[in-house]
Structure 1
């Protein structure tokens, strides 16, 4: 009798494993088929027709149309050009999946047959070339693929699914605008929020799911340095703003090394400096543009306050009068806190990835920069939303060493493996969180 029970138990386990493997194969095949029939052409369309931040008019219209056809309730124009799609499917948690839509003002030189030749008037009134040089075309294509799979598999999940097409990630302002436009009041507020980024620095077939920090904070800071104009041959008769600005640049480089703890991370980069008009003229104004990065809320405040102090102190030391001291302005729009994953939820997503693709798929290399993401606004500590932002490999392993970086005119990724793997991960992660959320509620 015991032998019979044991045999039945083994057979039951084998049957369950076989059913699970079959379901995994079916989902993978369905996504692969969808890519060949629909998503490949959609990706090329998005790549050939990029639009700049807060100017994603046709992109958002096409994204909304694609998802509306699948039975979602779709609202356009949220936070400017944002798209929100909702599918309610019984009781359960609310899961939000976000994809960013905007391109960059770069002339594409990737050599792709579907390379962008688009130009567009930017929000500053200038006409600029436009390119998807950061992979957002991958993100919105995968969002459509995910929407299709979730709509077709409503029997496998219960709750409310919210899909977001977000504008202006490149200006780190689109997420905040959507929230200011009532995203969490007008639509179901998520219990969980998911997003991914294709990475040229990770090989195709690999996925990175950070358990805590995913992206650094970013703040744009402008400094106007004032001086007193004079002849270049008589510098003693004026106050040279170029000299003052130069000293500020040098002094700022000591802030990270001498103001924050050695184990903390921080970056202050002066990305642009403009001043003067001629060889032999001392002007009266220099304009500086900075980006500031950190991984910690307290460090972020320390760096920003130090910029104020250094700019003022250097100017005073060089004899700038009180009424001409530098003006330091922190951008109210190009700013975002660090993106920090909810550790417990990230661990669950990692387990989903490992179960679906194998442990070897997980990528755990150290970060090599301090890129920022305004997904952080959707999952701030006070929001109560548990967020997970993961990375999907976009470069064939054999090309990894020579892969152009994001924001390069030569940027290119391998779309099929990135889009299909990201879509499968999103579907599995969302389905798991719907089930997990229901169990927790009980």
Structure 2
């Protein structure tokens, strides 16, 4: 089954607790970036940071061969932690999605690759990405020029901690793994008025309620029944006191889709419904739309997926790997493969839960203030998964002949 010894997590556990205790939200990960950079420079890697964006890129060279990109996201969420673990957040933000595990697992993977240099040849490009949670961190990092002094990967690999998979198991699927995601902020403007005289104005709250209810028919009545999609309204803001009808209201619509056709259908439908409801209510000002979030589909390259699957099944056993269903959660990991023009593959690994939250009902999962993985299980599985797949890629990927390459 396993080809790698169990990870001894003492130093990695210390790093994990440090990252967990000092989380930083999207594009604010300055301390996190500095700690990672110090750790990797101390291991002899070439490290590049950017003046324009947080995060870093580091290269480990070990002779001729393929260039394998390994990516970990580093940002936290604006959530107040409720886990009660002794290393709980001190910043008011929280690593409620396991990114602290991702960072630690990639550093641990670098350690393992350094320890088994005789088992591989090539180059590893470690990508520590900012701002995954807002969907624009990968694009910002790619545009910053931070990759200019590093070789362009021939394949990019990534992983995510999961509370849904059994501890010590892994899972993924070929082709589409995660949905595309879009968020639109919609602003309605009117004259406002007295709550005692609603007939003298357009009540934006009632109008928004009609829009929100009608938006729920997009999935049930417009998306084909054999397709999967989600449309949710996550925020609504208006008004100051109960006896004033507001003159401005904003709400946000979040959509998930698995094809570009459905994605376009949803956007057209959102705009049509909002505009039509506004006209039906007699609103004079046109509704304003701002497309604030845009996550791409996360698509696993089918051929490269088989290499990843084989490595994970060798490491965790045939029954330790699950072919999962497509996930409606979203990731911007795919931006790297698209930008470099190379295959990318992404998978999940089961972490279990920390003792402090293990008995909580319902079971805490990502983006919950009570989410806390079992650190020792998470680090062990994360390092073994990343290392086994990295070694498989380093020993099997054939570098393509490039006419024009990015980086050096």
TM-score by length of 2: 0.92
When Rg is computed on C-alpha atoms for both structures, the one with the higher figure is: 1
Cα distance change, pair 78–152 in 1 and its aligned pair in 2 (3 A): farther
**3-state DSSP class of the match of 1:170?**
helix
Q: Counterpart in 1 of 2:81? A: 108
Residue 75 of structure 1 pairs with residue 33 of structure 2: no
Q: Counterpart in 1 of 2:318? A: 359
Q: Give the aligned CA root-mean-square deviation in angstroms.
A: 2.1
Cα distance change, pair 296–399 in 1 and its aligned pair in 2 (3 A): farther
The 5-angstrom pairing of residues 82-231 of structure 1 reads 82-116=55-89, 118-119=90-91, 129-183=92-146, 185-231=148-194
Moved more, 294-303 or 196-205: 294-303
The correspondence for 1:300, drawn from 242, 263, 267, is 263
Q: Counterpart in 1 of 2:300? A: 341
Cα distance change, pair 68–184 in 1 and its aligned pair in 2 (3 A): closer
Distance in structure 2 (CA, Å) of the matches to 1:195 and 1:246: 40
Q: Counterpart in 2 of 1:376? A: 334
Residue 330 of structure 1 pairs with residue 328 of structure 2: no
Distance in structure 1 (CA, Å) of the matches to 2:361 and 2:5: 29
Residue 267 of structure 1 pairs with residue 233 of structure 2: no
Q: Counterpart in 2 of 1:3? A: none
**3-state DSSP class of the match of 1:436?**
coil
The 5-angstrom pairing of residues 2-13 of structure 1 reads none
**3-state DSSP class of the match of 1:201?**
coil
CA offsets 1:118-177 (integer angstroms, 9 cap, x no match):
22xxxxxxxxx1111111110000111011111222222222210011111111111110
Distance in structure 1 (CA, Å) of the matches to 2:388 and 2:360: 27
TM-score by length of 1: 0.85
Distance in structure 1 (CA, Å) of the matches to 2:278 and 2:64: 62
CA offsets 1:289-317 (integer angstroms, 9 cap, x no match):
22121112221122112211111111111
Residue 48 of structure 1 pairs with residue 25 of structure 2: no
**3-state DSSP class of the match of 1:203?**
coil
Aligned length: 398
Q: Contact 1:201–1:400 (CA<8 Å) still a contact in 2?
A: no
Q: Contact 1:214–1:340 (CA<8 Å) still a contact in 2?
A: yes
Q: Counterpart in 2 of 1:390? A: 347
The 5-angstrom pairing of residues 3-42 of structure 1 reads 27-29=4-6, 32-33=7-8, 35-36=9-10, 38-42=11-15
Distance in structure 1 (CA, Å) of the matches to 2:105 and 2:198: 60
Distance in structure 1 (CA, Å) of the matches to 2:122 and 2:243: 70
Cα distance change, pair 87–289 in 1 and its aligned pair in 2 (3 A): same
CA offsets 1:45-103 (integer angstroms, 9 cap, x no match):
11111111111111111111111111110011275111100122222221100111111
**3-state DSSP class of the match of 1:28?**
coil
Structure 1 portions without partners, runs of 5+: 1-20, 120-128
Distance in structure 1 (CA, Å) of the matches to 2:220 and 2:279: 23
Q: Contact 1:74–1:84 (CA<8 Å) still a contact in 2?
A: yes
Distance in structure 1 (CA, Å) of the matches to 2:360 and 2:315: 24
Distance in structure 1 (CA, Å) of the matches to 2:121 and 2:360: 40
Q: Contact 2:234–2:252 (CA<8 Å) still a contact in 1?
A: yes
How far residue 233 of structure 1 moved from its aligned partner, in angstroms, is: 2.4
Greater percentage in helix: 1
Distance in structure 2 (CA, Å) of the matches to 1:396 and 1:229: 49
Q: Contact 1:67–1:74 (CA<8 Å) still a contact in 2?
A: yes
The correspondence for 1:429, drawn from 377, 386, 389, is 389
Structure of higher RCO (CA pairs closer than 8 Å, 6+ residues apart) = 2
How far residue 231 of structure 1 moved from its aligned partner, in angstroms, is: 2.1
Distance in structure 1 (CA, Å) of the matches to 2:242 and 2:360: 45
Following TM superposition, where does structure 1 have runs of at least 4 consecutive aligned residues deviating by more than 3 angstroms? 183-186, 364-367, 396-402, 438-441
